[in-house]
Amino acid sequence: MLTKEENEKLTRIEGEAPMGQLVRRFWLPFLLSSDLPGPDSDPVRVRLLGEELLAFRDTSGKVGLVDPLCAHRCADLFYGRNEEGGLRCIYHGWKYDVTGQCVDAPTEPKESNLKLTARLKAYPVVEQAGVLWAYMGPSDLTPELPDFEFMHVPDDHLYASWSTQGCNFAQAIEGGIDTAHSIFLHSTLESHRKLEEFKKSTAMTNGSGSIPQGRYRNRDNPPQLHSVDTDFGVLVGGRYISGEAEDYWRFNLFYMPFYTSPPGGAGSKLVHAFVPVDDVTTARWSFTYNLEKPHAYRDVMAMRGGSGVHVALVPGTHTPLRVRANNYLIDRDEQRTLSFTGIGGIGEQDFAVQEGMGVIVDRRRERLGVSDGGIMQMRRRLLKAADDLEEGVEPREASHGSVYRVHAGDTMLAADVASWPDDPKSKAALAPKW
Ligand SMILES: [Fe+2]
C-alpha cells in the first residue's frame, strides 16, 4: 500500500506535479504517423499531460505540436486551413509554421512587427518507427529517444496501435508489469481444460511462451517473483517450478518512465507505453513486432480490428468500442462456457479491471502479496526518480537511450536462483536481435 501522499505523488501528472515534471524529461509517443497521413492533412486535437494541443503536418511533411488557440484572439486553430507551409486561422487569417511562429498576420499593417512577436507555444516532435514523439520538457535538456528494438525492425515486422483508457497511467503500468494476472484475466476455459490434460500426461504440448516449457505457466503453478533495479527500470523474473533440473523463467520489464514489456510467443515481442493524457486518462500503446518475419496481412487486418493486445476502436478514432459505460460488452454466457471473463479483447480485459478500480485507485486499500513485488519496486523507482528530480537530479534514462536495448523473454534456468539476472541464459533471453 501507499500513503495518501505517496499515491498523489505517484499518480498526479498535470501542472507542476513532480511526476508530471519527471515524465516531461522523456520523449512521449502521442500519435501514429498515419494519424497525420500526409502533407497538409487534417489537424488533429491532442491532449497530453493535461494540456490541450493541436498537431498538424505541413506541406513539407514536418509535424507541429502547438497551442491550439490563435495568438491573436484565441480562436481554435483546429478549424484552421492547413495551407502552404503552415496552419491559417479561419478567424482573421493569421498563419503559423510548425515551430509555432506566426508567418502571416494579414489583418495588420505591413509595417507592424506583431507578426514577428506572435507565436504559439510549440513542442519539438520527431518521427520514428511510424510514431510521432513529443518532448515537453526544458529545451536545454532534450533527451535521447529510447532505443527500443522495435525502432530497428523492418517496417512490416512492426504493428503499433494506441487507444485511450479511462484511468491514471500508474494503474495501467501496474497491469503491464504484473506477471501473475494473465493466467486468469486473459485465459480461456479451453486453456484450463488443456492444463488438466497436461497434468495427466508428461508429453511436451504447446506452451504459452516461446519454449515448450511455457506449459509450466498455469493456474496451478503461480510464479515466484524476483525483481531487481536495472539501468532501464525494473526487471521482474517469474520463476515457475518445473520439478526438473531447470525451472521455467519469464522476464517482464518496466522501462522508465511508463513502458512495460511481457514475453511473447516464438519470435514475437510486445512493448506497451502508457502515456499520461491527464491525471485520469491514459494512452495505451502497443508495439507488436516479430524478430523473424513480417506480420502476415491477415494478422495486420486482425490487429486493426482489435485482436491480441490491440483494442477494437470506434472507427476513425482512438476510443475503444468496449468501455465502462457499456460494461465492456461482457457476455455472461461466454464467461460460463468459453473465456474466464466473457469480455472480448486482452486490452479490454485489462481496462475492465484497471478502470473498475476508479480513475485513481486509493492504494491505502490494497492488500499486496509477494506476487506484487515487481509492482512495489516499479512504484519505488518512479517515486525516487520524482524525488530526485525535485532535488535537481535529472533521470539518467532520459539521456541514455541505449539502456532501452533489452527485450522481454523466457528461458529455462538451473534451480539455483541466486544469480538469475546474471545467468548467461538470462542475458541471452534479454538480448535484442536488432
Ligand atoms: Fe493484462
Å from CA of 42 to ligand 1 middle: 34
Å from CA of 309 to ligand 1 middle: 8
Cβ proximity of 127 and 9 under 8 Å: no
Å from CA of 184 to ligand 1 middle: 9
Q: How far apart are the C-alpha atoms of 271 and 322, rounded to whole Å?
A: 22
- Output the DSSP codes for 87-133: EE-TTT--EE-TTSBEEE-TTS-TT--HHHH-B--EE-EEEETTEEE
pLDDT at 190 (0 to 100): 80
- Name the stretches of the chain with pLDDT < 50: 202-207
Å from CA of 347 to ligand 1 middle: 7
Which residues are close to ligand 1, an ion, with C-beta < 5 A? Answer: 350
pLDDT at 146 (0 to 100): 98
Å from CA of 386 to ligand 1 middle: 26
Å from CA of 419 to ligand 1 middle: 28
Which residues are CB-neighbours of 37 under 8 A, at least 6 positions away? Answer: none
Å from CA of 361 to ligand 1 middle: 17
Q: Is 180 strand, coil or helix? A: coil
Å from CA of 204 to ligand 1 middle: 26
pLDDT at 209 (0 to 100): 65
Q: Is 328 strand, coil or helix? A: helix
Å from CA of 100 to ligand 1 middle: 40
Å from CA of 350 to ligand 1 middle: 5
pLDDT at 201 (0 to 100): 56
Å from CA of 89 to ligand 1 middle: 43
Å from CA of 312 to ligand 1 middle: 15
